[in-house]
Structure 1
Amino acid sequence: MAMGRPEVELVLNEGEHSQLMSITRSRSISAALVTRTRIVLAAADGEPNSAIAQRLQLTRATVGKRRLRFLEQRINGLYDEVRPGKPRTICDERLAQLIHKTLHTKPADGSTHWSVRTIAAETTISPTSMHRYFKLLGLQPHRSESFKLSTDQFFIEKLRDVVGL
């Protein structure tokens, strides 16, 4: 005798089935996406959630969640949702000031260029955040013998476009 809620039948059309099969055969797609695809294909074949979970070494809750998301959103339900994160604490203007200071000034201690730690101490932004911004913006003042300043008058505007992505 079956226990629990009855599972909603999952029916695939021909296009969805061929797309899911190509995802499972792909070697360049993430393993998580392939696993979700296998869950959906097994559910479409009529396999119960408990058997799918046991075969793929997952929990029944995971299998049920993926089945329901596919029923609600179809192929788009297989992909990860955008996860919320902590919002940025440094505004665009402050970032522009930081870039301007890095590119157009030298440290007061007589150094030839700014390092992550010296600019962090000067601007009261954490060294970790400074490192992330240096890496994101490609700032490497320590890599050249003579630091070259950007001559593009629209550098800050272009920077905002890139950082905004």
Structure 2
Amino acid sequence: MKKMSLKNLSAFLLSLVLVAGVFSCKDDSENPKPNEPEPVNQNKVEGSWKIKAMTIEPAVNGITDMLAFYEALAGNNCLSQTTITFNGNGKVTGKVPAGCVEDDDSPVVGSGATWKVVGNKIQVIEDGETDEFDLEVKGNEMKWSVSETEDGQTFKTTLVFKK
């Protein structure tokens, strides 16, 4: 069985994230509401992270653990071993482990990808598209989540990163 390349897997994952981003809501309010969490300090996001979990609720075709599904599909654990770095200058870079890509020209993210924290949300901008996620950072764990409604059913996707 031929293994899916990380480049194809990354493209598939990015497509999923982009689709989820299309359905995410934006709150333009400058004043936090009483029960909303405090805005996240951008410095808490800076650094290198690896994806440790990716879930969807409710289950889609019986699957809630999307990270395990993607890695089983690829036949490797390259996705969870890939390092994504959120640089202090607002740029996003990444590093794929040796043996996970077919060539050295397979980027994790586009060369112009950027990020910023707005309140308790993180925005990732790539190729003119902005994806926005609810953001929570506690110690060495960062969670992104987004909800989307399809055919009257709301799905929540959560990505968990660890430093």
Asked whether the two chains share a fold, i.e. TM above 0.5, the reply is no
Determine which structure has greater relative contact order: mean sequence separation of CA pairs < 8 Å that are 6+ residues apart, divided by chain length: 2
